Chains A and B, each alone.
Chain A
């Protein structure tokens, strides 16, 4: 079994374009929402228009009589008497011959609601005299107070004479995933009583499992296909109530396939979101700038049933700390995992406090940060690999990033003013961390066919990180072929078990079994070929489409494969130690340069620098794309994104894509990406990069804005309103 990656790779680490790029760029790739099996019906969901209500009665009779309608069903266990707990909570579903008919039928379902009092915002949920909508399970007045986590004696830490302290509140709102392809699937019952589904999912295996479980049929009777999918960001790990209901509709309609995808508003309301974060922080340091303690009271809402945890303290060495976190429950859709869950929130709270304290100390925030890194920050790599110390990595990365943004020349203390222009200029930075390792539990099948074709096959899927290309690079490297010679078949739940695409784990989890599979297949080929070449198997090697004997080309790849006769070589590879970091544990830092118009509150980004380590990089091109993508996700959190709930009606005011703001091309600044890929990092093996670069961007932008305008904008995003409010409060006009 290989325990190391090739020492002098020809393809690994180079810039390889995506194997499925042309299919995607020409519109030919068929997404689950594009699938249209013979006889397909169109599904639609009815969801609650109220934030909180009891369903008094539910009448499908008018809907069922409409032309084209084939099935109407309640969602899940909904019946008269059921509660709906947020706008967007599922009530019923329809399948009809055309989509227009399905939507008509949804409108014709009669529901009588008893509208109940709601709490739609964190403030409303905690207000004196608020209706106690959420009870039980340790919830008091809509709040579940967590236990305090204390390290050392934080109260004592603040007592010294030379302690400089800041006390401040920071917050980030609930944001939603906004997957461009909504949640959903196309599903059918076969005449044999089996389920076949085309699902927009990050996890074909668990989706098949959920469908099998819902109908109590063996998982061997379920096939889930996900050739491509239109974004998940942590919110798409199963069939969900929509997929299960669609399968029920298909069953009721005699097995006709049903396509069920959420509309955009429903997607915002019910398709998952990132919890808010509200923090009141006391942070102290000695006059010399050494952190001594932190006391934090934090809270957040994950909606009507999910938690809102985030890490704090974050990254830095805080000798004494206490932290209490409360989950606030509101009549909103439930949170789901979203890109490095918790880290962007923990990062912006910690990094804002660090910056504010540096300002109070009169220190350069960069120097203050470096002074407060942990003396050592050992990260367990797992397997047989040694642990890695993240602290020197941070030092190197900050130095590189500072150089790339021009910190030394451009950074000036907070609120500096150059002349009378209302356009103020600022620089900010932030550090982050993430896991990104991959568990050793997956398999890849490699088949070498007698015609020379090579297939890599596994039940993982491509969420956009280029999984097909990763497998092909690894196979081509080992077999001395071109990447385009390899076929990667993924996105099918019946293939050998593959990794769900969450936590930046796909590439690190799947690369080792891929290398293992193709190496075993090659060795078997060598054993079979050796007699025909009058050589020992160990004398054979592969390069440039040729089989070599003791380094001399003897036979073309296809001719060699033809010697297999009728029998392909097929090997299932497993993970082996040392090829990927099991736990990951990456560092990373980002710098932002902004201008702020203090008359309008408009923040413009000028430049972002991202320095990122992620072990051994398989494809430099798609790696960079992921880092750019992470930064752009982060700048959305920094400048634009916010779910706005109306306290009076309890509904979401911006469940769309014009008032729910996302960056367009004109909002994208110059972005400089630097891969921190030293020999020591490469030796860690493969680590995923999807999430780390999205963690610290919003924090760095917030710090740059404070640097520009001389006052902390305590609420994300850095929208004109939040910026103007902060400026007004500085002038005593709040």
Chain B
């Protein structure tokens, strides 16, 4: 029998709350009945039909007017990579969490893997291929500070840095961290990346 005299616990700690909710819920499971009803819903789905057609897309990429036929569902990333041979931006997570596909659209840093290509018509798309390759450019700083290993995330990091420096030519180390926090490197080149961004800021000012 419950002890009715027991005082309710006052002020549950943040720790108890967190243990009981959000973080632990990362391991939430889909229960049996839910799985069954999902299966039922699936069985009721009609035969799979493809409804697709292409549209002519005109894009301004790195100062060039490019045109190609795409389905309206094509992302900017897949359009650049698969149809326009602009392969600097990479497809890694394909759902806006790693930043390897980063491009600059009308001055804004954008994940091209979750941007529809048709939404970019009439806008200015800049990719890593268009950046200054001289000693005051961001790519040069990445090479000098060895901010790359396998190099697959590198175009995304270079683009995020370039975009940051365009907006904030005098970033602090913390601002650089935040500026590239939307990007993930698996080889672990962050130290070189941070050094490169600060060095590029310095080099640009000297230019």
> Chain A's nearest CB lies how many Å from the CB of B122?
23
When distances are taken between beta carbons in the complex, the residues of chain A under 8 Å from B190 are 628, 632, 663-665, 668
Given contacts A180-B100, A648-B35, contact A27 B129 (CB under 8 A): yes
CA distance A569 to B153 in the complex (A): 39
B93 an interface residue at 8 Å Cβ cutoff?
yes
When distances are taken between beta carbons in the complex, the residues of chain B under 8 Å from A230 are 90, 150-152
Q: Which of A523-556 contact B (CB under 8 A)?
A: none
Given contacts A100-B71, A647-B29, A665-B183, contact A629 B18 (CB under 8 A): no
A677 an interface residue at 8 Å Cβ cutoff?
no
B124 an interface residue at 8 Å Cβ cutoff?
no
When distances are taken between beta carbons in the complex, the residues of chain A under 8 Å from B106 are none
B30 an interface residue at 8 Å Cβ cutoff?
yes
Which A residue sits closest to B192, measured CB to CB?
A625
Contact yes or no, B146 A17, CB < 8 A: yes
Q: Chain A: interface secondary structure? A: loop
Contact yes or no, A724 B151, CB < 8 A: no
Contact yes or no, A181 B150, CB < 8 A: yes
Contact yes or no, B144 A600, CB < 8 A: no
Contact yes or no, A656 B95, CB < 8 A: yes
> Chain B's nearest CB lies how many Å from the CB of A186?
12
6 A-B pairs closest in CB distance: A27-B88, A632-B188, A230-B152, A24-B151, A464-B149, A21-B143
CA distance A666 to B131 in the complex (A): 25
Contact yes or no, A27 B19, CB < 8 A: no
Count how many chain B residues have C-beta atoms less than 8 Å from C-beta atoms of the other chain. Answer: 78
Interface string of A715-734 (1 = CB under 8 A from B): 00001110011011000010
B198 an interface residue at 8 Å Cβ cutoff?
no
B112 an interface residue at 8 Å Cβ cutoff?
no
Count how many chain A residues have C-beta atoms less than 8 Å from C-beta atoms of the other chain. Answer: 84
Contact yes or no, B129 A28, CB < 8 A: yes
Q: Which of B122-149 contact A (CB under 8 A)?
A: 127-129, 131, 133, 138-140, 142-144, 146-149
Which B residue sits closest to A230, measured CB to CB?
B152
Q: Please indicate which of the listed interface residues A22, A101, A233 has the most CB atoms of chain B within 10 Å of its own CB.
A: A22
B204 an interface residue at 8 Å Cβ cutoff?
no
B residues sitting closer than 8 Å to A (CB atoms) are 13-16, 18-19, 23-24, 26-32, 35, 48, 50, 52, 71, 73-74, 78, 81-82, 85, 87-95, 97-98, 100, 127-129, 131, 133, 138-140, 142-144, 146-155, 158, 176-178, 180-194
Contact yes or no, B189 A628, CB < 8 A: yes
Given contacts A22-B139, A649-B29, contact A668 B97 (CB under 8 A): no
> Chain B's nearest CB lies how many Å from the CB of A639?
13
When distances are taken between beta carbons in the complex, the residues of chain A under 8 Å from B133 are 22, 26
CA distance A145 to B178 in the complex (A): 48
Q: Please indicate which of the listed interface residues A180, A600, A622, A733 has the most CB atoms of chain B within 10 Å of its own CB.
A: A180
Q: Which of A634-658 contact B (CB under 8 A)?
A: 636, 644, 646-649, 653-654, 656-658
Which B residue sits closest to A721, measured CB to CB?
B23
CA distance A263 to B15 in the complex (A): 37
Of the A-B pairs whose beta carbons lie under 8 Å apart in the complex, a sample of 14, sorted by A's number, is A22-B133, A100-B73, A108-B48, A230-B150, A233-B186, A600-B18, A625-B192, A628-B188, A630-B188, A632-B185, A658-B95, A664-B181, A665-B176, A728-B19
